[in-house]
């Protein structure tokens, strides 16, 4: 458990990638993407001590690294390998609600074996992005004694490496995943029952991301439902979940504790960052935010959900 102390360090291990996005707002290529990019940029508004461990190819432009650095992200753990950078190409339907993966080129990411810098091994909070659970466990072996370990996963690992994933989950405090993945992992359709089953696998809290239906936090003490902000202008939902995770973990690093009340607030700061993220392509929606803008969006969430007590 994290104890209160300012500016805790946060490490995310994941992907830094190129995205080629097609959809109702046109085609955009070679965008800076990847789970770690969204995560760290979103988190950077809450803690100035966020580092990425990832790999890119020799085709990756320095400008993209500068973009991350400019947000205050420590990019020293982004290794450069010979070959191509991970590239994802997707096409969104006109309603932006469904998408189709057109192409996935793993490139150098296929051989990614995260090796933490000495300076990153003592991170207070660690987020294990969506990579092979064997590698996730290996990252934890390299770490000192993080106060909070969060992890993401996906169908591919749940179906293909369940045993290894189970082993990793024993050491994860907070698992973030979407509803489909939660159902698949727990082999249970009902989300509450699925979440409770996942809690018995190790994590003390589960965050179920449900896209425009918001996110559910299930923990020993209860359930919290964060709505998604109903937005009039959504341009690119790519990275929404990772922006959520970054805002969530960034706030925990900022707050310096993982009390239930803090985690509830973190669910909203996560939702805030996701809502900014989807308004623009790539990381543009996460750039140039001010404390005032974040506070106002947070207050909009409070207004969205507040209601008075019932007195019958």
Binding stretches for a copy of itself (CB under 8 A): 46, 94-97, 189-193, 210, 212-214, 216, 218, 222-227, 230-232, 234, 254, 261, 264-265, 267-269, 291, 294-295, 298-299, 302-310, 312
Closer residue to a copy of itself in complex, CB, 107/214: 214
User: Measured between alpha carbons, how far is 230 from 301 in angstroms, rounded to an integer?
Assistant: 10
Contact 143, 116 (CB under 8 A): yes
The distance of closest approach from Cβ of residue 291 to a copy of itself in the complex, given in angstroms and rounded to an integer, is 5
The distance of closest approach from Cβ of residue 104 to a copy of itself in the complex, given in angstroms and rounded to an integer, is 27
For tokens 């504790």, the residue is 257
Closer residue to a copy of itself in complex, CB, 87/210: 210
Contact 131, 19 (CB under 8 A): no
The distance of closest approach from Cβ of residue 302 to a copy of itself in the complex, given in angstroms and rounded to an integer, is 7
Closer residue to a copy of itself in complex, CB, 49/168: 49
Closer residue to a copy of itself in complex, CB, 141/230: 230
Closer residue to a copy of itself in complex, CB, 138/181: 181
Cβ neighbours of 216 (radius 10 Å) = 20
Q: What number of CA atoms fall less than 13 Å from residue 50's CA on the CB side?
A: 30
The distance of closest approach from Cβ of residue 111 to a copy of itself in the complex, given in angstroms and rounded to an integer, is 38
Contact 252, 125 (CB under 8 A): yes
User: Measured between alpha carbons, how far is 210 from 215 in angstroms, rounded to an integer?
Assistant: 5
The distance of closest approach from Cβ of residue 271 to a copy of itself in the complex, given in angstroms and rounded to an integer, is 10
- Strands 205-209, 215-219: pairing is antiparallel
Please name which of 269, 297, 237 lies closest in space to residue 44, comparing C-alpha atoms: 269
The distance of closest approach from Cβ of residue 268 to a copy of itself in the complex, given in angstroms and rounded to an integer, is 5
Closer residue to a copy of itself in complex, CB, 54/272: 272
């Amino acid at each position: 458990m994290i104890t209160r102390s300012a500016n805790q360090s946060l490490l995310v291990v994941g992907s830094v990638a190129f995205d080629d996005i097609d959809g109702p707002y046109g085609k955009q290529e070679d965008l800076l993407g990847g789970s770690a990019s969204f995560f760290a940029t979103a988190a950077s508004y809450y803690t100035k001590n966020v580092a990425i461990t990832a790999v890119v190819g020799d085709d990756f432009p320095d400008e993209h690294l500068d973009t991350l650095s400019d947000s205050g992200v420590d990019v020293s753990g982004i290794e450069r390998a010979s070959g191509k950078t991970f590239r994802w190409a997707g096409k969104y339907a006109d309603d932006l609600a469904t998408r189709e993966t057109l192409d996935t080129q793993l490139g150098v990411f296929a051989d990614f074996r995260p090796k933490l810098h000495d300076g990153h091994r003592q991170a207070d909070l660690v987020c294990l992005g969506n990579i092979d659970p064997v590698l996730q466990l290996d990252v934890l072996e390299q770490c000192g004694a993080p106060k909070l370990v969060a992890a993401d996963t996906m169908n591919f690992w749940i179906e293909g490496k369940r045993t290894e994933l189970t082993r990793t989950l024993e050491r994860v405090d907070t698992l973030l995943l979407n509803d489909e993945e939660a159902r698949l992992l727990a082999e249970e359709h009902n989300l509450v029952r699925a979440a409770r089953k996942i809690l018995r696998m190790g994590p003390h809290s589960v965050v179920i991301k449900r896209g425009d239906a918001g996110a559910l936090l299930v923990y020993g003490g209860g359930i919290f439902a964060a709505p998604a902000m109903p937005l009039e202008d959504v341009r690119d939902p790519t990275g929404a979940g990772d922006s959520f995770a970054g805002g969530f973990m960034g706030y925990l690093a900022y707050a310096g504790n993982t009390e239930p009340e803090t985690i509830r607030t973190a669910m909203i700061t996560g939702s805030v960052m996701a809502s900014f993220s989807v308004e623009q392509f790539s990381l543009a929606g996460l750039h140039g935010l001010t404390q005032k803008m974040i506070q106002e969006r947070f207050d909009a969430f409070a207004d969205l959900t507040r209601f008075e007590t019932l007195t019958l």
